[in-house]
Amino acid sequence: MTLAIRARLKRSDFELDVDIDLPPGGVTSLFGRSGCGKTTLLRIMAGLEKVRDAEVRFGDQVWQQGKHFVPLHQRRIGIVFQEHSLLPHLSVRGNLLYGYKRTPASLRRLHLSGVTDMLGIADLLDRPIDRLSGGQRQRVSLGRALLTSPQLLLLDEPLSALDTRNRREVMPFLSRLAAESGVPIVMVTHSPDEVERLADRVVFMEAGRISSVESLQQTLRRTDSPLFADKGTVCVLAGRVLPGQADGLIRFGNEHLQFLIEDPGPHGMPTRVRIHSSDVAIARHRIGDVSVVNQLPVIVERIEAFRPGRILVAGKLRDGQILTAEITEHSCRRLGLGNGQLVHALIRSVTLLD
Protein backbone atom coordinates (compact mmCIF):
# COMPACT_ATOMS: atom_id res chain seq x y z
CA MET A 1 0.00 0.00 0.00
CA THR A 2 1.33 3.42 -0.98
CA LEU A 3 2.37 5.72 1.87
CA ALA A 4 1.70 9.36 0.95
CA ILE A 5 2.86 12.34 3.02
CA ARG A 6 2.39 16.04 2.36
CA ALA A 7 3.53 18.34 5.12
CA ARG A 8 5.10 21.72 5.86
CA LEU A 9 6.58 22.54 9.22
CA LYS A 10 8.48 25.70 10.13
CA ARG A 11 10.51 26.27 13.24
CA SER A 12 12.93 29.05 14.14
CA ASP A 13 15.94 27.52 12.39
CA PHE A 14 14.38 24.69 10.38
CA GLU A 15 11.75 24.18 7.71
CA LEU A 16 10.39 20.84 6.49
CA ASP A 17 8.57 20.78 3.17
CA VAL A 18 7.77 17.30 1.79
CA ASP A 19 5.40 15.86 -0.78
CA ILE A 20 6.08 12.20 -1.39
CA ASP A 21 4.41 8.93 -2.36
CA LEU A 22 6.35 5.85 -1.28
CA PRO A 23 5.66 2.56 -3.08
CA PRO A 24 4.55 -0.46 -1.05
CA GLY A 25 6.76 -3.25 0.22
CA GLY A 26 10.42 -3.69 1.03
CA VAL A 27 12.69 -1.33 2.91
CA THR A 28 12.69 2.41 2.28
CA SER A 29 15.63 4.31 3.76
CA LEU A 30 15.41 7.99 4.68
CA PHE A 31 19.02 9.07 4.19
CA GLY A 32 20.78 12.34 4.90
CA ARG A 33 22.99 14.21 7.30
CA SER A 34 21.94 14.90 10.88
CA GLY A 35 19.38 17.69 11.09
CA CYS A 36 18.00 17.28 7.55
CA GLY A 37 14.52 16.26 8.79
CA LYS A 38 14.58 12.46 8.60
CA THR A 39 13.29 11.79 12.10
CA THR A 40 10.73 14.59 11.89
CA LEU A 41 9.31 13.02 8.72
CA LEU A 42 9.20 9.62 10.43
CA ARG A 43 7.36 11.11 13.41
CA ILE A 44 4.78 12.66 11.05
CA MET A 45 4.22 9.22 9.49
CA ALA A 46 3.70 7.77 12.97
CA GLY A 47 1.42 10.50 14.23
CA LEU A 48 3.91 11.54 16.92
CA GLU A 49 4.34 14.95 15.26
CA LYS A 50 1.00 16.61 14.61
CA VAL A 51 1.58 19.16 11.86
CA ARG A 52 -1.17 21.57 10.90
CA ASP A 53 -2.64 21.01 7.40
CA ALA A 54 -0.51 17.91 6.81
CA GLU A 55 -1.91 14.96 4.87
CA VAL A 56 -0.88 11.37 5.57
CA ARG A 57 -2.39 8.35 3.82
CA PHE A 58 -1.55 4.65 3.90
CA GLY A 59 -3.31 2.86 1.08
CA ASP A 60 -7.00 3.70 1.44
CA GLN A 61 -6.58 4.75 5.08
CA VAL A 62 -6.52 8.48 5.81
CA TRP A 63 -4.38 9.03 8.89
CA GLN A 64 -4.42 12.82 8.75
CA GLN A 65 -6.29 15.34 6.65
CA GLY A 66 -7.70 18.68 7.77
CA LYS A 67 -9.14 18.20 11.25
CA HIS A 68 -9.15 14.41 10.88
CA PHE A 69 -6.29 12.83 12.83
CA VAL A 70 -5.73 9.14 13.67
CA PRO A 71 -3.46 8.70 16.74
CA LEU A 72 -0.48 6.35 16.74
CA HIS A 73 -2.17 3.47 18.59
CA GLN A 74 -4.90 3.32 15.91
CA ARG A 75 -2.52 3.35 12.92
CA ARG A 76 -1.17 -0.17 13.63
CA ILE A 77 2.43 0.96 13.26
CA GLY A 78 5.43 -0.66 14.93
CA ILE A 79 8.25 1.70 15.97
CA VAL A 80 11.81 0.96 17.07
CA PHE A 81 13.99 3.85 18.21
CA GLN A 82 17.75 4.28 18.67
CA GLU A 83 17.53 3.33 22.34
CA HIS A 84 15.41 0.35 23.29
CA SER A 85 12.27 1.12 25.33
CA LEU A 86 11.77 -2.28 26.92
CA LEU A 87 9.91 -2.63 30.22
CA PRO A 88 12.56 -3.51 32.84
CA HIS A 89 10.15 -5.26 35.22
CA LEU A 90 9.14 -7.80 32.56
CA SER A 91 11.14 -10.70 31.14
CA VAL A 92 11.93 -10.98 27.44
CA ARG A 93 8.78 -13.07 27.02
CA GLY A 94 6.71 -10.48 28.89
CA ASN A 95 8.03 -7.66 26.72
CA LEU A 96 7.41 -9.58 23.51
CA LEU A 97 3.85 -10.45 24.49
CA TYR A 98 3.00 -6.98 25.82
CA GLY A 99 1.70 -5.66 22.50
CA TYR A 100 0.69 -9.09 21.20
CA LYS A 101 -1.91 -9.53 23.94
CA ARG A 102 -3.33 -6.09 23.17
CA THR A 103 -3.68 -6.84 19.46
CA PRO A 104 -7.11 -8.25 18.52
CA ALA A 105 -6.84 -11.94 17.64
CA SER A 106 -8.33 -11.27 14.19
CA LEU A 107 -5.41 -8.94 13.36
CA ARG A 108 -2.59 -11.18 14.57
CA ARG A 109 -0.47 -12.28 11.60
CA LEU A 110 2.83 -12.83 13.41
CA HIS A 111 3.24 -15.04 16.46
CA LEU A 112 5.79 -15.61 19.20
CA SER A 113 7.55 -18.71 17.87
CA GLY A 114 7.96 -17.37 14.34
CA VAL A 115 9.28 -13.98 15.48
CA THR A 116 11.70 -15.41 18.05
CA ASP A 117 13.08 -17.81 15.44
CA MET A 118 13.41 -14.99 12.90
CA LEU A 119 15.35 -12.82 15.36
CA GLY A 120 17.31 -15.59 17.08
CA ILE A 121 15.98 -14.83 20.56
CA ALA A 122 14.08 -18.05 21.42
CA ASP A 123 16.68 -18.95 24.05
CA LEU A 124 16.30 -15.56 25.77
CA LEU A 125 12.58 -15.74 26.60
CA ASP A 126 12.94 -16.20 30.36
CA ARG A 127 15.87 -13.79 30.78
CA PRO A 128 15.48 -10.43 32.59
CA ILE A 129 16.04 -7.35 30.45
CA ASP A 130 19.03 -6.22 32.51
CA ARG A 131 20.88 -9.41 31.59
CA LEU A 132 20.78 -8.74 27.85
CA SER A 133 23.52 -7.25 25.67
CA GLY A 134 22.79 -4.12 23.66
CA GLY A 135 22.32 -6.17 20.51
CA GLN A 136 19.96 -8.61 22.24
CA ARG A 137 17.88 -5.76 23.64
CA GLN A 138 17.50 -4.23 20.19
CA ARG A 139 16.45 -7.58 18.72
CA VAL A 140 13.85 -7.93 21.48
CA SER A 141 12.64 -4.39 20.66
CA LEU A 142 12.24 -5.43 17.03
CA GLY A 143 10.36 -8.54 18.10
CA ARG A 144 8.01 -6.61 20.36
CA ALA A 145 7.18 -4.22 17.51
CA LEU A 146 6.58 -7.11 15.10
CA LEU A 147 4.30 -8.97 17.49
CA THR A 148 1.74 -6.18 17.30
CA SER A 149 1.34 -7.39 13.68
CA PRO A 150 1.89 -3.88 12.32
CA GLN A 151 0.98 -2.90 8.80
CA LEU A 152 4.04 -0.64 8.74
CA LEU A 153 7.33 -0.76 10.69
CA LEU A 154 9.28 2.46 11.37
CA LEU A 155 12.94 2.26 12.45
CA ASP A 156 14.67 5.41 13.73
CA GLU A 157 18.41 4.71 13.41
CA PRO A 158 18.01 1.34 15.17
CA LEU A 159 21.76 0.60 15.12
CA SER A 160 23.26 3.99 15.95
CA ALA A 161 23.33 3.45 19.73
CA LEU A 162 25.14 0.10 19.40
CA ASP A 163 28.86 -0.52 19.39
CA THR A 164 30.49 -2.24 16.42
CA ARG A 165 30.14 -5.73 17.87
CA ASN A 166 26.44 -5.36 18.69
CA ARG A 167 25.78 -3.67 15.35
CA ARG A 168 27.31 -6.65 13.54
CA GLU A 169 25.13 -8.93 15.67
CA VAL A 170 21.85 -7.17 14.83
CA MET A 171 22.39 -6.40 11.13
CA PRO A 172 21.80 -9.96 9.78
CA PHE A 173 18.58 -10.23 11.76
CA LEU A 174 17.37 -6.87 10.44
CA SER A 175 18.05 -8.15 6.93
CA ARG A 176 16.15 -11.36 7.64
CA LEU A 177 13.28 -9.40 9.15
CA ALA A 178 13.06 -7.28 6.00
CA ALA A 179 13.07 -10.37 3.78
CA GLU A 180 10.71 -12.61 5.76
CA SER A 181 8.27 -10.52 7.82
CA GLY A 182 6.24 -9.18 4.89
CA VAL A 183 5.93 -5.84 6.70
CA PRO A 184 6.93 -2.66 4.79
CA ILE A 185 9.76 -0.88 6.58
CA VAL A 186 10.79 2.79 6.63
CA MET A 187 14.23 3.24 8.17
CA VAL A 188 16.00 6.47 9.16
CA THR A 189 19.78 6.32 8.81
CA HIS A 190 22.82 8.39 7.94
CA SER A 191 24.98 5.27 7.41
CA PRO A 192 25.72 4.26 3.78
CA ASP A 193 26.57 0.76 5.06
CA GLU A 194 23.05 0.30 6.45
CA VAL A 195 21.49 1.56 3.21
CA GLU A 196 23.62 -0.79 1.11
CA ARG A 197 22.84 -3.77 3.34
CA LEU A 198 19.12 -3.28 3.92
CA ALA A 199 17.41 -0.79 1.60
CA ASP A 200 15.40 -1.47 -1.54
CA ARG A 201 14.95 2.26 -2.20
CA VAL A 202 16.44 5.47 -0.84
CA VAL A 203 14.80 8.82 -0.06
CA PHE A 204 17.57 11.42 -0.08
CA MET A 205 16.89 14.39 2.20
CA GLU A 206 18.70 17.69 2.51
CA ALA A 207 17.75 20.74 4.59
CA GLY A 208 14.16 19.63 5.17
CA ARG A 209 13.45 18.69 1.57
CA ILE A 210 13.48 15.53 -0.50
CA SER A 211 16.05 15.77 -3.26
CA SER A 212 15.28 12.41 -4.91
CA VAL A 213 13.73 8.97 -4.45
CA GLU A 214 15.65 6.14 -6.11
CA SER A 215 15.93 2.38 -6.01
CA LEU A 216 19.16 1.18 -4.42
CA GLN A 217 20.46 0.04 -7.81
CA GLN A 218 19.63 3.42 -9.37
CA THR A 219 21.62 5.31 -6.78
CA LEU A 220 24.54 2.90 -7.01
CA ARG A 221 24.70 3.48 -10.77
CA ARG A 222 25.34 7.23 -10.52
CA THR A 223 28.78 8.48 -9.63
CA ASP A 224 27.45 11.54 -7.77
CA SER A 225 25.35 9.49 -5.35
CA PRO A 226 25.42 10.89 -1.78
CA LEU A 227 26.24 7.36 -0.62
CA PHE A 228 29.68 7.75 -2.20
CA ALA A 229 30.60 11.06 -0.55
CA ASP A 230 33.09 9.49 1.86
CA LYS A 231 34.31 6.19 0.45
CA GLY A 232 34.04 6.38 -3.34
CA THR A 233 31.89 4.42 -5.77
CA VAL A 234 30.80 0.92 -4.85
CA CYS A 235 28.45 -1.72 -6.17
CA VAL A 236 26.29 -4.00 -4.06
CA LEU A 237 25.38 -7.50 -5.24
CA ALA A 238 22.60 -9.64 -3.78
CA GLY A 239 22.85 -13.39 -3.38
CA ARG A 240 23.40 -16.13 -0.84
CA VAL A 241 26.37 -17.68 0.90
CA LEU A 242 26.73 -21.10 -0.70
CA PRO A 243 28.19 -24.26 0.87
CA GLY A 244 31.97 -24.53 0.58
CA GLN A 245 33.56 -27.02 -1.74
CA ALA A 246 36.57 -29.30 -1.41
CA ASP A 247 38.98 -26.40 -1.93
CA GLY A 248 37.85 -24.89 1.38
CA LEU A 249 36.77 -21.59 -0.18
CA ILE A 250 33.40 -19.94 0.44
CA ARG A 251 31.15 -19.12 -2.49
CA PHE A 252 28.57 -16.38 -2.87
CA GLY A 253 25.94 -15.88 -5.53
CA ASN A 254 22.83 -17.39 -7.10
CA GLU A 255 21.95 -19.72 -9.95
CA HIS A 256 23.60 -17.39 -12.51
CA LEU A 257 26.43 -15.86 -10.51
CA GLN A 258 29.07 -17.41 -8.28
CA PHE A 259 32.37 -16.15 -6.94
CA LEU A 260 34.57 -16.61 -3.90
CA ILE A 261 34.49 -14.63 -0.67
CA GLU A 262 36.76 -14.71 2.36
CA ASP A 263 34.19 -14.03 5.09
CA PRO A 264 31.87 -16.96 5.83
CA GLY A 265 28.26 -16.41 6.76
CA PRO A 266 25.16 -18.55 7.38
CA HIS A 267 24.64 -20.75 4.34
CA GLY A 268 21.50 -20.14 2.33
CA MET A 269 20.64 -16.78 3.93
CA PRO A 270 19.94 -13.94 1.49
CA THR A 271 22.67 -11.35 1.89
CA ARG A 272 24.65 -8.73 0.00
CA VAL A 273 28.30 -8.04 -0.74
CA ARG A 274 30.01 -4.70 -1.34
CA ILE A 275 32.69 -4.27 -3.99
CA HIS A 276 34.58 -0.99 -4.29
CA SER A 277 34.86 0.05 -7.93
CA SER A 278 38.53 0.84 -7.38
CA ASP A 279 39.05 -2.86 -6.51
CA VAL A 280 37.83 -4.01 -9.94
CA ALA A 281 40.04 -4.19 -13.03
CA ILE A 282 39.00 -4.92 -16.62
CA ALA A 283 40.55 -7.44 -19.02
CA ARG A 284 39.55 -8.28 -22.59
CA HIS A 285 39.94 -11.99 -21.79
CA ARG A 286 40.17 -14.22 -18.74
CA ILE A 287 43.73 -14.23 -17.36
CA GLY A 288 45.60 -17.32 -16.15
CA ASP A 289 48.57 -17.36 -13.78
CA VAL A 290 47.32 -14.43 -11.71
CA SER A 291 46.48 -14.15 -8.01
CA VAL A 292 43.04 -12.60 -8.66
CA VAL A 293 40.62 -15.52 -8.30
CA ASN A 294 37.34 -13.78 -9.13
CA GLN A 295 37.15 -13.05 -12.85
CA LEU A 296 33.55 -12.55 -13.95
CA PRO A 297 32.31 -12.07 -17.53
CA VAL A 298 30.35 -8.82 -17.97
CA ILE A 299 28.74 -6.97 -20.87
CA VAL A 300 29.78 -3.30 -20.92
CA GLU A 301 26.66 -1.14 -20.49
CA ARG A 302 28.07 2.30 -19.75
CA ILE A 303 31.40 4.11 -19.86
CA GLU A 304 31.45 7.37 -17.92
CA ALA A 305 34.13 9.93 -17.12
CA PHE A 306 33.62 10.92 -13.50
CA ARG A 307 36.82 12.65 -12.38
CA PRO A 308 40.04 13.81 -14.08
CA GLY A 309 41.83 10.90 -15.71
CA ARG A 310 39.40 8.28 -14.33
CA ILE A 311 36.63 6.30 -16.03
CA LEU A 312 33.80 4.28 -14.53
CA VAL A 313 32.87 1.19 -16.52
CA ALA A 314 29.51 -0.40 -15.68
CA GLY A 315 28.99 -3.98 -16.83
CA LYS A 316 26.04 -6.36 -16.59
CA LEU A 317 26.67 -9.74 -14.98
CA ARG A 318 25.02 -12.96 -16.10
CA ASP A 319 22.22 -12.53 -13.55
CA GLY A 320 21.50 -8.93 -14.63
CA GLN A 321 23.13 -7.18 -11.68
CA ILE A 322 25.55 -4.33 -12.38
CA LEU A 323 29.24 -4.37 -11.48
CA THR A 324 31.32 -1.18 -11.79
CA ALA A 325 35.06 -0.77 -12.30
CA GLU A 326 37.12 2.39 -11.88
CA ILE A 327 39.98 2.50 -14.40
CA THR A 328 42.16 5.17 -16.01
CA GLU A 329 41.34 6.91 -19.28
CA HIS A 330 44.56 5.46 -20.67
CA SER A 331 43.47 1.89 -19.87
CA CYS A 332 40.05 2.50 -21.40
CA ARG A 333 41.61 3.69 -24.67
CA ARG A 334 44.23 0.91 -24.70
CA LEU A 335 41.57 -1.77 -24.26
CA GLY A 336 39.30 -0.15 -26.85
CA LEU A 337 36.29 -0.48 -24.58
CA GLY A 338 32.81 0.17 -25.93
CA ASN A 339 29.20 -0.56 -25.03
CA GLY A 340 28.07 -4.10 -25.76
CA GLN A 341 31.53 -5.66 -25.44
CA LEU A 342 32.10 -8.85 -23.49
CA VAL A 343 34.98 -8.34 -21.05
CA HIS A 344 36.10 -9.84 -17.75
CA ALA A 345 35.95 -8.01 -14.41
CA LEU A 346 38.84 -8.90 -12.11
CA ILE A 347 37.72 -8.41 -8.50
CA ARG A 348 40.52 -7.93 -6.01
CA SER A 349 38.46 -7.56 -2.81
CA VAL A 350 34.90 -8.36 -1.69
CA THR A 351 33.22 -7.42 1.62
CA LEU A 352 30.31 -9.39 2.97
CA LEU A 353 27.79 -6.91 4.39
CA ASP A 354 26.66 -7.87 7.87
Quickly list DSSP for 26-91: SEEEEE-STTSSHHHHHHHHHTSS--TT-EEEETTEEEEETTEE--HHHHTEEEE-SS----TTSB
CATH code for 3-218? 3.40.50.300
Residue 125, CB half-sphere, CA atoms under 13 Å: how many? 9
Asked if the model's pLDDT at residue 181 lies above 90, the reply is no
Per-residue pLDDT averaged across 42-55, rounded?
A: 93
Label residue 241 by pLDDT band (50, 70, 90). confident
Per-residue pLDDT averaged across 325-339, rounded?
A: 95
User: Do 350 and 275 meet the contact criterion of CB atoms below 8 Å apart?
Assistant: yes
Residue 120 — left, alpha, or beta (φ > 0 → left; ψ -120 to 50 → alpha)? left
**pTM attached to this predicted model:** 0.85
CATH code for 235-352? 2.40.50.100
Among 61-75, 174-188, 258-272, the range with the most confident prediction by mean pLDDT is 61-75
H helical segments located in the chain: 38-46, 72-75, 92-101, 112-119, 134-146, 164-180, 192-198, 216-221, 329-335
Asked if the model's pLDDT at residue 264 lies above 60, the reply is no
Asked if the model's pLDDT at residue 352 lies above 90, the reply is no
Asked if the model's pLDDT at residue 247 lies above 70, the reply is no
Per-residue pLDDT averaged across 179-185, rounded?
A: 87
Rounded-to-integer distance, Cα 8 and Cα 18, Å = 7
Per-residue pLDDT averaged across 295-304, rounded?
A: 94
| 168 compared with 150, residue with greater pLDDT | 150
Asked if the model's pLDDT at residue 39 lies above 80, the reply is yes
Question: Which pairing describes strands 280-283 and 294-307: parallel, antiparallel, or unpaired?
Answer: unpaired
Asked if the model's pLDDT at residue 141 lies above 80, the reply is yes
All structural domains of the chain with their residue ranges: 3-218, 235-352
Identify the pLDDT of residue 353. 79
Asked if the model's pLDDT at residue 257 lies above 90, the reply is no
- What are the backbone angles phi and psi of residue 24, rounded to the nearest 5°? -75, 160
- What are the backbone angles phi and psi of residue 45, rounded to the nearest 5°? -55, -40
Q: At 292, is the secondary structure helix, strand, or coil?
A: coil
Cβ burial, residue 210 (10 Å; 0-12/13-18/19+) = buried
Per-residue pLDDT averaged across 217-236, rounded?
A: 84
Identify the pLDDT of residue 13. 86
Identify the pLDDT of residue 265. 56
Identify the pLDDT of residue 273. 87
3-state secondary structure 178-193: HHHCCCCEEEEECCHH
